[in-house]
Amino acid sequence: MSQVVQSRRLRAVDLAKRKAAGEKIIALTAYHAHTAGILDAYCDFILVGDSLGMVMHGMESTLPVTLEMMILQAQAVIRGTSRALVVVDMPFGSYEASREQAFMSAARILKETGAGAVKLEGGARFAETVAFLTQRGVPVMGHIGLTPQSINTMGGFRVQGKGPDGERILLEDARAISEAGAFAIVMEGIVEPVARAIATSPQVTAATIGIGASSFCDGQILVLEDMLGLSERTPKFVKQFGSLRAHIEAAVKTYADEVRAGRFPEDAHTY
Ligand code: KIV
């Protein structure tokens, strides 16, 4: 992948330009300053996802994640980056009650972190909220299909878009939040024909970002730890571009062996 030279931080509008130019949008998640710093040159946007609850904290779902947790990790990611747009997930319970609640949470995220946009889960039923936020200066990324914050009503992490109404419902979700002003939409776990119909629909002007939603989307996102091979289990849509778990385990084992055997530290590590 070529490295794009860019002096200022990318903004939400830049993703629309990528889409218009037919250039793929590149994104990964990050929760730490140091890993975000590595991604910065290669990603158009970095998502501080609420998946941090599961990836960093070993939670069973994203539901217990708080606004304070999101803000803390987003501050770290902003400190570690200078170029990529940073998008921060609105956690469960921080936006669903009313448009006003959503604005207060989004305003905290933008003010306290310096991030350039927020992401919220849900389709047509959140179109009013998306419009309320964008009209008040908050760039919003939507998230449809498999929406992990709805795990209890969806009945588990299930691929979406199946069944006779699958395409109609998801296309309506995408169209509604795109028309409400969302600059991009994450499409997660959606069967290919439906993902294709949404990504190529003239009614969906927002950039489509796929995760398990085919190659027809305008861009792709993966959870960093999944694609690096750090996670214990990964869904079918993840390609492991690295095998860090094996590398870390080998390094830790060597360290333990050397300390036990008195081979570390050596003279070179001693004052
Ligand atoms: O929280 C997250 O990491 C996400 C991605 C899976 C898109 O929402």
What pLDDT, on a 0 to 100 scale, did the predictor assign at position 155?
85
Q: Candidates 54, 188, 237: which one to mutate for ligand 1, based on the most atoms within 8 Å of Cβ?
A: 188
What pLDDT, on a 0 to 100 scale, did the predictor assign at position 112?
98
Tell me the per-residue pLDDT of 88-99, one tens digit each, with 9 for 90 and over: 999 999 999 999
Specify binding-site residues for 3-methyl-2-oxobutanoate.
50-51, 89, 119
The three-state secondary structure class of 86 is strand
What pLDDT, on a 0 to 100 scale, did the predictor assign at position 179?
98
- With tokens 């860019």, the residue in question is 6
Cα separations in angstroms, 56 against 52, 145, 146, 230:
5, 24, 21, 11
Q: How far is the CA of 248 from the centre of ligand 1 (A)?
A: 24
What pLDDT, on a 0 to 100 scale, did the predictor assign at position 3?
53
Which ranges in the chain belong to alpha helices (H)?
12-20, 33-39, 52-55, 67-80, 99-113, 127-134, 151-154, 166-179, 192-199, 224-227, 244-261
Q: How far is the CA of 50 from the centre of ligand 1 (A)?
A: 6
Q: How far is the CA of 49 from the centre of ligand 1 (A)?
A: 5
Tell me the per-residue pLDDT of 3-20, one tens digit each, with 9 for 90 and over: 555 568 999 999 999 999
Q: How far is the CA of 89 from the centre of ligand 1 (A)?
A: 8
Q: Candidates 25, 26, 29: which one to mutate for ligand 1, based on the most atoms within 8 Å of Cβ?
A: 29
Question: Is residue 117 scored above 60 in pLDDT?
Answer: yes
- With tokens 């996102």, the residue in question is 221
Specify binding-site residues.
50-51, 89, 119, 121
- With tokens 């931080």, the residue in question is 9
Atom 3 of ligand 1 has which residue's CA nearest to it? Answer: 49
What pLDDT, on a 0 to 100 scale, did the predictor assign at position 233?
85
CB 200 within 8 A of CB 216: yes
Q: Phi and psi dihedrals of 188, rounded to 5?
A: -115, 135
Q: Which residues are catalytic?
A: 188
What pLDDT, on a 0 to 100 scale, did the predictor assign at position 5?
55
Nearest-atom number in ligand 1 for the CA of 29 is: 3
Tell me the per-residue pLDDT of 169-225, one tens digit each, with 9 for 90 and over: 999 999 999 999 999 999 999 999 999 999 999 999 999 999 999 999 999 999 999
Q: How far is the CA of 30 from the centre of ligand 1 (A)?
A: 10
The domain segmentation of the chain, as residue ranges, is 12-240, 243-271
Which ranges in 81-223 belong to alpha helices (H)?
99-113, 127-134, 151-154, 166-179, 192-199
Tell me the per-residue pLDDT of 25-58, one tens digit each, with 9 for 90 and over: 999 999 999 999 999 999 999 999 999 999 999 9
Phi-psi region of 205 (alpha: psi -120 to 50; beta: other; left: phi over 0): alpha
pLDDT band at 110 (very low <50, low <70, confident <90, very high): very high
Atom 8 of ligand 1 has which residue's CA nearest to it? Answer: 49
Tell me the per-residue pLDDT of 217-268, one tens digit each, with 9 for 90 and over: 999 999 999 999 999 888 999 999 999 999 999 999 999 999 999 999 999 9
* CATH architecture of the domain covering 12-240: Alpha-Beta Barrel (3.20)
User: Would you tell me how many other CB atoms lie within 10 Å of the CB of residue 156?
Assistant: 7
Tell me the per-residue pLDDT of 130-173, one tens digit each, with 9 for 90 and over: 999 999 999 999 999 999 999 999 888 899 999 999 999 999 99
pTM over 0.85: yes
CB 47 within 8 A of CB 211: no
Atom 4 of ligand 1 has which residue's CA nearest to it? Answer: 49
CB 19 within 8 A of CB 64: no
Which ranges in 56-118 belong to alpha helices (H)?
67-80, 99-113
Question: Is residue 1 scored above 90 in pLDDT?
Answer: no
Nearest-atom number in ligand 1 for the CA of 119 is: 8
The residues lining ligand 1, judged by C-beta closer than 6 Å to any ligand atom, are: 29, 47, 49-51, 89, 143, 186, 188, 211, 221, 223
What pLDDT, on a 0 to 100 scale, did the predictor assign at position 186?
98
Report residue 47 as tokens: 């998502």
Q: Candidates 59, 73, 89: which one to mutate for ligand 1, based on the most atoms within 8 Å of Cβ?
A: 89
CA dist 51 and 61 (Å) reads 8
Question: Is residue 84 scored above 90 in pLDDT?
Answer: yes
- Reference 51, options 146, 187, 148; nearest CA is 148
Tell me the per-residue pLDDT of 50-59, one tens digit each, with 9 for 90 and over: 999 999 999 9
Nearest-atom number in ligand 1 for the CA of 186 is: 7
